[in-house]
Structure 1
Amino acid sequence: MSTTERPRILVVGGGYVGLYAARRILKKMRYGEATVTVVDPRSYMTYQPFLPEAAAGSISPRHVVVPLRRVLPKAEVLTGRVTTIDQDRKVATIAPLVGEAYELPFDYLVIAMGAVSRTFPIPGLAEQGIGMKGVEEAIGLRNHVLEQLDKADSTTDEEVRRKALTFVFVGGGFAGAETIGEVEDMARDAAKYYSSVSREDMRFILVDAADKILPEVGPKLGTYGKEHLEARGVEVYLSTSMDSCVDGHVVLKNGLEVDSNTIVWTAGVKPNPVLSRFGLPLGPRGHVDTQATLQVQGTDYIWAAGDNAQVPDVAARKAGVENAWCPPNAQHALRQARVLGDNVISGMRGFPQKEYAHANKGAVAGLGLHKGVAMIVMGKVKIKLKGRLAWYMHRSYHGFAMPTWNRKIRVFADWTLAMFLKREVVSLGAIETPREEFYEAAKPAPKVAQSAEAQLPPATRQKSEEKAKAS
Structure 2
Amino acid sequence: MARPRVVVVGGGFAGLTALRRLERRIPRGRAELVLITPNDYMLYQPLLPQVASGLLTPQSIAVSLHRQLRQTHMVPGAAVGVDTASRTVVVRKISGEYGYERYDRLVLAPGGNTRVFDIPGLIEYGRGNKNLAEAVYLRDHVLAQLELANATDDQAERDERCTFIVVGGGYTGVETAASLELLCEEACRLYPGLGGHINWHLVDIAPRLMPELGERLGDSAMNLLRRRGIEVALGVSVREVTQDKVTLTDDRVLPCRTLIWTAGTSPSPLIGSTGLPTERGKLKVGADLSVPGHPEVFGLGDSAAVPDLSKDEEGALCPPTAQHASRQGPVAADNVIASLLDRPLTEYRHKDRGLLVDLSGRDAVARPLGREVTGLPALALTRAYHMWALPSGPGRARVAANWGIRALLGGEVSRLGFLNRTIDTLVDTEERSQYLAPEQAREKASLVLGD
1:290 pairs with 2:285: yes
Q: TM (normalized to structure 1)? A: 0.86
Residue 273 of structure 1: how far off its partner (Å): 2.0
For 2:182, which of 173, 180, 185 is the aligned residue?
185
Give 1:430 shift: 4.3
Q: Which aligned pairs between 1:216-227 and structure 2 lie closer than 5 A?
A: 216-227=212-223
One of 52, 67, 72 as aligned partner of 1:70: 67
DSSP-derived class of the 1:383 partner:
coil
Indicate the RMSD between aligned Cα atoms, in angstroms.
Answer: 1.6
Question: Following the alignment from structure 2 to structure 1, what is the Cα–Cα distance between the partners of residues 270 and 376?
Answer: 41
Is 2:128 aligned against 1:140?
no
> How much has 1:5 moved relative to structure 2?
4.8
Write the distance in 1 (CA, Å) between the matches of 2:352 and 2:142.
36
Give 1:118-129 correspondences, 5 Å limit.
118-129=115-126
Choose the corresponding residue for 1:230, options 226, 229, 244: 226
1:419 aligned partner = 407
Aligned residues: 422
Cα distance per residue 1:395-443 (max 9 Å; x no partner): 1112211112221222122212222111111111346439xxxxxxxxx
What is the aligned counterpart of 1:299 among 289, 294, 306? 294
Q: Distance in 1 between matches of 2:242 and 2:194?
A: 26
Q: 2-side partners of 1:430 and 1:407: how far apart?
A: 23
Shift, 1:136, TM fit: 1.0
The change in CA–CA distance for 1:42 and 1:248 in structure 2 (over 3 A counts) is farther
Aligned counterpart for 1:174 among listed residues 131, 154, 171: 171
Quick one: higher RCO (CA 8 Å, sep 6+), 1 or 2?
A: 2
Shift in Å, 1:38: 0.7
Displacement of 1:384 after TM fit?
A: 0.8
1:280 aligns with 2:276: yes
Counterpart CA distance in 1 for 2:6 and 2:394 is: 27
One-letter code aligned to 2:141? H
- 1:460 aligns to what? none
Which runs of structure 2 are paired with 1:282-431 in the superposition (5 Å)?
A: 282-283=278-279, 285-316=280-311, 320-377=312-369, 382-430=370-418
Q: Deviations over 1:158-180 (max 9, x none)?
A: 11111111001111111111100
- The whole-number CA distance in structure 2 between the counterparts of 1:160 and 1:315 is 51
State the TM-score, normalizing by the size of structure 2. Answer: 0.90
Cα distance in structure 2, aligned partners of 1:350 and 1:409:
43
Question: How far apart are the structure 2 equivalents of 1:383 and 1:352?
Answer: 37
CA shift digits 1:328-387 (9 cap, x unpaired): 11221111111111221222222221111122122111112111111122xxxx311112
Please give the alpha-carbon distance, in whole angstroms, between the structure 1 residues aligned to 2:359 and 2:228: 11
Aligned to 2:357, the other structure's residue is in SS state: strand
Hey, which bits of structure 1, 4+ residues long, moved more than 6 A?
Answer: none
Q: 1:24 aligns with which of 21, 25, 29?
A: 21
| Corresponding residue number in structure 1 for 2:449 | none
The 1:63/1:103 distance shift into structure 2, 3 A limit, reads same
- For 2:191 and 2:96, the matched residues in 1 are separated by 49
Aligned to 2:254: 258
**Which shifted more, 225-234 or 162-171?**
225-234
In our comparison, the structure showing a higher alpha carbon Rg is: 1
Alpha-carbon displacement from aligned partner over 1:231-282 (angstroms, at most 9, x marks no partner): 1111111111100012231000111111211110011111112211112111
Secondary structure of 1:355 counterpart = coil
> Which runs of 5 or more residues in structure 1 are unaligned?
435-471
For residues 232 and 100 of structure 1, do their structure 2 counterparts lie closer, same or farther at Cα, with a shift above 3 Å needed? closer
Does the residue aligned with 1:420 lie in a helix, a strand or coil?
A: helix
* Percentage of pairs with the same residue: 36
What SS does the corresponding residue of 2:415 show, helix, strand or coil? coil
Q: How does 1:430-441 map to 2 (within 5 A)?
A: 430=418, 432-433=420-421
Distance in 2 between residues matched to 1:167 and 1:210, nearest whole Å: 20
Give 2:235's aligned residue: 239
Code of the residue aligned with 2:214 in structure 1: it is: G
2:153 corresponds in structure 1 to 156
Q: Is 1:203–2:191 an aligned residue pair?
A: no
2:426 matched residue in structure 1: none
Alpha-carbon contact 1:43-1:68 (below 8 Å) kept: yes
Separation in 2 of the partners of 1:417 and 1:99? 41
- In 1, Cα distance between equivalents of 2:419 and 2:144: 12
Rounded Cα–Cα distance in structure 2 between residues aligned with 1:238 and 1:195: 31
Amino acid aligned to 1:396 = A
Q: How far, CA to CA, are the matches of 1:99 and 1:395 in structure 2? A: 40
